[in-house]
Amino acid sequence: MQHPKDLLIANFSYDLPDEKVAKYPLAARDASKLLLYDKGAISESVFGKIAHHLPANALLVFNNSRVIQSRLSFTKPSGGAIEIFILEPCAEYGDMATAMKNTGHITCNCLVGGAKKWKQGKLEMVLTNNVEPVILTAEMISRKGEEFIIAFNWQPEVGFATALEIFGNTPIPPYLHRQSEAADKDRYQTIYAKENGSVAAPTAGLHFTDEVMQSLHAKNIEHTYVTLHVGAGTFKPVKSDTIAGHEMHEEYMVVDTLLIEKLMSHEKIIPVGTTSMRTIETLYWMGVKTLVNSSIALAALEIKQWEVYDDLMHHNISKNAAMQALLNWLKKSNLESLSLRTQILIAPGYKPKIATGLITNFHQPQSTLLLLIAALAGDDWKKIYSYGLENEFRFLSYGDSSLISW
């Protein structure tokens, strides 16, 4: 097997005209087109009928992370514009849920648009309401490469997520080439979003409506949730010639024992989106680690970029054996849930250990997300994308969907 490090990213490219990129969502979420790929055969439907194309008794795995209003637009006293894009709170605030509840003050890793114009001092935004002014200040603390550590202070002392709801804008993807609008606040959010922390939407879930959920229930298709907070790194292009030169972004995931038990009790498991897939596949390898070393430390469970290919893939362990080992480790550690980061890279050469299908949108050329599709469909990823381009499918975050089975 060729090591993914040696893959040439140029082999995972295709011509994506700008007019094929969906700049806005459709009026109805479930009106999107649905490409069906099943072991080489391609057909199409509409997303509102997805239950018809899913096996009965399947388990869908949704990512319930909620997009925070992470773009902040400040105006300097001189009139210059500074935009701060929050990537994530600094590590000292612990897990994402705790950080989002922080009141009054927080420091975050950020990108800054117009940074050269921000030499010193604090930036301030003031909004007025019927009771009292609401104030947010930002102060640059340090810089490392393209990222900045920014200290934010606000009053009154509401939680950080609430402060961002007041002051922030929706972080729609840069390839839409437009400013966010009021409608994006709702439409760039799944209907089941719950846990604050993503700076990009888990977009495969944007097509689901209450009606679609009811149709799934009617066919005895269950669903469950993971939380994986999507970082801006999901848009990070692969700039090196081979994947060896690309650093996969880390993302923060939270799962509980109930999810693990559901994964054990189902044979047909279909993640909704690449984030859900990366989460459940990470769980498998965490289970392998606990089976190999039942005394492993919590931090050592995290899956690094090349770890599966270099150290773990030679283990031939069933899904349920891995999941049971992980449950045993959690019980021994007196934990009901796991809150860790994953850097797993799913690329050609990888065989899914838990997922048996995938619901996903169409992804950018030369991206790690396209590598994931190629891992599932092999060279047929080219057939899938050619069909989409030739049959008026809409691409990327606000675009159409696909159901991939193998």
**CATH number, residue 308:** 3.40.1780.10
- The vertex-88 CA angle with 238 and 344, nearest 5°, equals 45
Tell me whether residue 62 is in a domain: yes
**Which pLDDT does position 130 carry in this prediction?**
61
Do residue 161 and residue 208 come from a single domain? no
Tell whether the model's pLDDT for residue 176 goes beyond 70. yes
Tell whether the model's pLDDT for residue 9 goes beyond 80. yes
Express each pLDDT in 51-61 by its tens digit: 999 999 999 99
Tell me whether residue 174 is in a domain: no
Express each pLDDT in 282-300 by its tens digit: 999 999 999 999 999 999 9
Integer angstrom CA distances of residue 287 from 62, 233, 255, 323:
21, 26, 13, 5
Tell me whether residue 199 is in a domain: yes
Range of the domain at 104: 70-168
Do residue 105 and residue 251 come from a single domain? no
Do residue 391 and residue 358 come from a single domain? yes
Judge contact between 197 and 252, C-beta under 8 A.
yes
**Which pLDDT does position 103 carry in this prediction?**
93
Model confidence band, residue 62 (pLDDT cutoffs 50, 70, 90): very high
Express each pLDDT in 307-347 by its tens digit: 999 999 999 999 999 999 999 999 999 999 999 999 999 99
Do residue 228 and residue 365 come from a single domain? yes
Tell whether the model's pLDDT for residue 80 goes beyond 90. no
H or E element in which residue 372 lies: helix 368-377
Tokens 């840069």, residue located: 174
pTM comes to 0.95
Domain final residue, candidates 168, 199, 231: 168
Do residue 138 and residue 222 come from a single domain? no
Do residue 340 and residue 370 come from a single domain? yes
Express each pLDDT in 298-316 by its tens digit: 999 999 999 999 999 999 9
Q: What is the tally of structural domains in the chain?
A: 2
Do residue 57 and residue 113 come from a single domain? no
Judge contact between 221 and 269, C-beta under 8 A.
no
Do residue 317 and residue 215 come from a single domain? yes
The stretch 393-405 carries a mean pLDDT of 98
Do residue 139 and residue 274 come from a single domain? no
The stretch 200-227 carries a mean pLDDT of 98
**Which pLDDT does position 129 carry in this prediction?**
63
Model confidence band, residue 131 (pLDDT cutoffs 50, 70, 90): low
Judge contact between 285 and 308, C-beta under 8 A.
yes
Do residue 251 and residue 398 come from a single domain? yes
Do residue 212 and residue 318 come from a single domain? yes
Tell me whether residue 173 is in a domain: no
Do residue 265 and residue 311 come from a single domain? yes
